Structure 1
Amino acid sequence: MIALERLQEFIKKHALFQEKERLLLAVSGGRDSVLMAKMFKLAGYNFGIAHCNFQLRGKEADEDEYFTVNLASELGVEIFVSKFNTKEYASKNHISIQMAARDLRYQWLENIREEQNYQYIALAHHQNDVVETILLNLTRGTGIAGLHGILAKKGKIIRPMLFLSREEIDSMPPFEFREDSSNLSTKYARNKIRLEVIPVLKQLNPSLEQTFEANRKRFAELETMLNQRVEELRNELFKKLDEHEFEINLEKLKNLVPLNTLLYELFRPYGFTEAILSDLAVSWTSQSGKLFRSATHELLLNRDRILLGRINEEIPAPIIIEQESRLCNWNEKQFSIGIIPIEDFKMCTELNFAQLDYDLLKFPLIMRSWQHGDFFRPLGLKTKKKLSDFFIEQKISLNRKKDIPVLENGNGDIVWIAGLRISEGYKISPNTKKVFILEQLN
């Protein structure tokens, strides 16, 4: 059987798996996945079958499940089946039905793979799926990764059927399979491309699949080259400050060529979109202190550099310090409070002490985390400074900032950055009569 030999050659060429490794085949009951299961059986590979019932087509979906269970029995392999409430999942997560089915499928397959000790998950995509994916990506907008479509191997996912085209699969000796009626509906973008766009393109190029496969290989190689260059640049430009924070030389970043592509690729792993990075590029010459956020990370412009850090949304709640308070706790830190007459006062230079002019304070005071837009006048300076700039000068990472206590006066002034500096306007002076002392105990 020539197709079987081609399958084995394709698997070896792309190093998809070793012969004795256990494989979990995702089988829907459709032609492609059933053919994959039958060919794997003929090749003598060690595999089991997993079937998802998304409960979207009523009786038809249940019949697909029944057929796949019987197929596993016929092939003498173990089978795993799961029913999903796909519509409910899509509604709860505000995503499309197709995206919901995809998420549920991949999550479940990976869980089964791990629990049952399978090495890889095999999906039955073929060459026409590659064409559809590339066209779909181009229609929606894509980077270079979208131009190579579907890879034969990515992590624990393998696609051993990519050596076949739809026409070759259709020409195989007949065998039983299930036909998914939803594949004929053009309300889905992928189906519209398959049923209406590709037939027109094949009139222009009858060897469309082979052409796309050749292009796919070129794009994949270009992506490898780009990734190598980006990794070199990341190692050169990103200076690690701590586990989740980097400092980036702004001048070197500005001089990258081609700027937009490299900028996107450098920051893409941190969730930044092209729109955000375009705004960054517009702002970096004139808007020091501006912050840009993705879902997981933030970029802070600071004159000649950019700080990249992971967002930590767990901001400690503020606490109130009353005039009569003598002890307080904030973010697992404890503070003692005292008020003494100036005659009994002895200056302490340790940074865990705040010694302030009591009569300038307006109670209640607030102890909290820093906030964007905070200013204060550090001891010894004549002008106010952005707290974000002060933190940078003190080499405080984006991650650590939220854990540093900020003491706010009742009039809104910041009077102490715990462990770092008091405010110039609240220091002890010749006019001071009482001293307010706040000591961080741990």
Structure 2
Amino acid sequence: MLPVKRFVDFVEQNSLFTPANKILAAVSGGMDSVLMAHLLKAAGYNFGIAHCNFMLRGPQADADQEFTRQLAQQMGVSFYTVNFNTQQYAADNKVSIQMAARDMRYQWFAQISESAGYDVISLAHHQNDTIETILLNLTRGTGIAGLHGILPKNGPLVRPLLYLTRDEIQTVIVAEGLNYVEDASNASVKYARNKIRHKVIPLLKELNPNLEATFENNLRNFRDLETLLDDKVAELKETLLKHHNNEVHISLEEISKLKPQRLLLFKMLQDYGFTEPIIDNLLTVLNKHAGRVFESTAYTLLVDRGKIIISPKTGFTVKEISIGQDDVSCTYNSYKLTVLHDDSPLIIRDNSLAVSVDAALLVYPLTLRAWQQGDVFYPLGMKTRQKLSDFFIHIKMPLHQKTTTPVLQNGNGDIIWVGGYRLDERYKVRNNTKKVTIFELYKL
């Protein structure tokens, strides 16, 4: 029997949509999105189905498209579909296939919503997707925000299946005899998320068979704690941050009263680019060393008598960071860079702040630095080199971002990666790659 009551209860408890709303359901044809469509229909909501054909899997993709068309027809709801030349878009915009698909998908959803009057876009993520996201965040390093998992609502995007586990979805699908299509790539352990899904979570479930229920309870606690923290920090900013022209002053006496001091001070100064390591160093000199100066990318913090003074920087030079072969992370101004070595030729496709590099080509120590006049590299997908200054112009990067964008340089002088934007063609993962090194940036 379809879990309609639980579905409606979850929708109402999280204020995802109402019977008066018009809902655009993103349906791939897979098990999760098919169940979502059936639940929307059984609950009596006003919805239409949208399906993207990325033209990457030949006849199988066409079959998925026809399946969803027939599903919409059987349900008597509006059907929208589009064929994307994903490979051409990726080449034209110099992005990965996964990023191209994501960009085109959400842009199209927004266009359909506006033109056809849909209020929300419904996506079929479930509990296990959230667990996988949290475990990935934990392995890569995260703050409290990384522990709340996938949110039920984020602007016009809603996820009404987050109350269900993958096993529960499969049980319902089988019991109801619902047809769906399967993407073979879901079974591969080539990607980090699939490794978590197929290798890590089964082991955790041996320790705790009720893993999903435990995580769901943890998620509620994490989200509540995040709300409490955000409210507390907003209150502290209002009362403790004193603005004087272009400076911000904070009393050392008030800082000494903070509990927990490190966390609250970091959250208050985070907007100015001051990282956790800087806060650690700052706390060791408060009330001891007047005149000490700390720097973020765009601000200077001065420890004065009785207060700290934060002021914007002008004409500053970003420092360089050396990365050794055994380093697993480093902090570069307002970024944290993590380094992970993997024995499989893994390619990062859906995260612009992460990149896989052929490990055999790396010459240590590496350097993380700002761009310099005369820098050149071979942008991914191109056979000719390009000045970094021209690349910035091509992607229309604002001037102030040029000085803060991290550039990863190999020990032989080559630029490996323009952090968050483009890998060098020479360092991409190829068919004969044996091991990769994964670099990932986090904005602090």
1:144 aligned onto 2:144:
yes
Paired position in structure 1 for 2:105: 105
Report the CA distance shift for 1:228/1:94 in structure 2 as closer, same or farther (over 3 A).
farther
Match of 2:214 among 211, 227, 231: 211
CA RMSD of aligned residues (A): 3.4
Equivalent position of 2:263 in the other structure: 261
Give CA-to-partner distance per residue, 1:114-172, whole Å, 9 cap, x none.
34332212111111112111111111111112212122223222111112111111111
TM-score scaled by length of structure 1: 0.61
Partner of 1:113, secondary structure, is: helix
Query: Could you say what secondary structure the match of 1:171 adopts?
Result: helix
* Counterpart for residue 356 of structure 1: none
Cα 1:189/1:292, change in 2 over 3 Å:
same
Map residues 99-138 of structure 1 onto 2, 5 A cutoff: 99-138=99-138
Looking at structure 2, the residues matched to 124 and 96 of structure 1 have their Cα atoms a distance apart, in angstroms, of 23
Unaligned runs of 5+ in 1: 313-398, 400-442
2:182 aligned with 1:179 = yes
Q: Secondary structure at the match of 2:162?
A: coil
Higher Cα Rg: structure 1 or 2? 1
> 1:47 corresponds to which residue?
47
Alpha-carbon distance between aligned partners in 2 of 1:169 and 1:143, rounded to the nearest angstrom: 30
**199, 219, 223: which one aligns with 2:226:** 223
Whether the aligned pair in 1 keeps the contact of 2:86 and 2:97 (CA below 8 Å) is yes
Pairs within 5 Å for 1:157-306: 157-172=157-172, 173-240=176-243, 247-249=248-250, 251=252, 255=256, 256-268=258-270, 273-274=275-276, 291-293=295-297, 298-302=298-302, 303=304, 304-306=307-309
- Give the Cα–Cα distance (whole angstroms) in 1 for the partners of residues 34 and 268 of structure 2: 41
Q: CA deviation at 1:269?
A: 5.0
1:76-111 CA distances to partner (integer Å, 9 max, x unpaired)?
222333444555666777765545544443344334
Q: Which residue of 1 aligns with 2:332?
A: none
| Change in 2 beyond 3 A, CA 1:276/1:207 | same
Q: Residues 354-433 of structure 1 correspond to what in structure 2 (within 5 A)?
A: none
Q: 8 Å contact 1:299–1:306 — kept in the other structure?
A: no
Please report how far the alpha carbon of residue 219 of structure 1 lies from its aligned counterpart in structure 2 after TM superposition. Answer: 1.0
CA distance in 2, matches of 1:268, 1:42: 46
Once residues 111 and 220 of structure 2 are traced to their aligned partners in structure 1, the CA distance between those partners, rounded to angstroms, is 31
Structure showing greater relative contact order (alpha-carbon pairs closer than 8 Å, 6 or more residues apart): 2
Amino acid at match of 1:249: I
Residue 367 of structure 2 corresponds to which residue in structure 1?
A: none
Q: Is the 8 A contact 1:250 1:306 kept in 2?
A: no
Aligned pair 1:4/2:19, yes or no? Answer: no
Q: CA deviation at 1:31?
A: 0.6
Deviation track 1:317-372 (CA, whole Å, cap 9, x = no partner) reads xxxxxxxxxxxxxxxxxxxxxxxxxxxxxxxxxxxxxxxxxxxxxxxxxxxxxxxx
In structure 1, what is the equivalent of residue 32 of structure 2? 32
- Cα distance, 1:236 vs structure 2: 1.8
What's 1:437 paired with? none
Distance 1:217 1:94 in 2: 39
Q: Which residue is equivalent to 1:63?
A: 63
The one-letter amino acid paired with 2:36 is: M
One-letter amino acid of the counterpart of residue 128, structure 1: N
Once structures 1 and 2 are overlaid, which stretch shifts more, 74-83 or 119-128?
A: 74-83
**3-state secondary structure, aligned to 2:296:** strand
Q: Matched residues in 1 for 2:255 and 2:178: separation?
A: 60
Q: Which moved more, 1:4-13 or 1:49-58?
A: 49-58
2:272·2:299 contact (CA, 8 Å) conserved in 1? no
Q: What is the CA–CA distance in structure 2 between the aligned matches of 1:165 and 1:299, rounded to whole Å?
A: 45
Asked whether the equivalents of residues 230 and 262 of structure 1 are also in contact (C-alpha less than 8 Å), the reply is: yes
Q: Percent identity among equivalent residues? A: 49
Sort the Cα spacing of 1:125 and 1:187 in 2 relative to 1 into closer, same or farther, 3 A.
Answer: same
Q: 1:77 to 1:246 in 2, by over 3 A?
A: farther
- The one-letter code of the counterpart of 1:12 is E
Normalising by structure 2, what TM-score?
Answer: 0.60
Residue 344 (structure 2) aligns with: none
Taking structure 1 as reference, are residues 53 and 310 closer, same or farther at Cα in structure 2, changes over 3 Å only? farther
1:182 is displaced (CA, Å) by 0.9
Q: Provide closer, same or farther for how the CA distance between residues 309 and 55 of structure 1 changes in structure 2, counting only shifts above 3 A.
A: farther
Describe the SS at the equivalent of 2:23: strand
Distance 1:95 1:142 in 2: 25
Q: Residues of 1 paired with 2:78 and 2:249: CA distance?
A: 52
CA shift, 1:309, in A, is: 5.8
| Pair 1:218–1:62, CA change in 2 (3 A) | same
Structure 2 unaligned residues grouped into runs of 5+:
316-399, 401-444
Distance apart, 1:308 and its partner CA: 5.8
Residues 257-266 or 207-216, more deviating: 257-266
- Distance of 2:89 and 2:268 partners within structure 1: 33
The offset of 1:181, in angstroms, is 1.0
Output the amino acid matched with 1:248: H
User: Structure 1 residue 225: deviation in Å?
Assistant: 1.0
Going from structure 1 to structure 2, the CA distance change for 1:140 and 1:283 (only over 3 Å counts) comes to same
Of residues 85-94 and 149-158 in structure 1, the stretch that sits farther from structure 2 once superposed is 85-94
Number of residues of Structure 1 aligned to a counterpart in Structure 2: 308
Q: Is 1:127–1:162's contact at 8 Å kept on the other side of the alignment?
A: yes
Structure 1 residue 222 displacement after superposition:
0.9
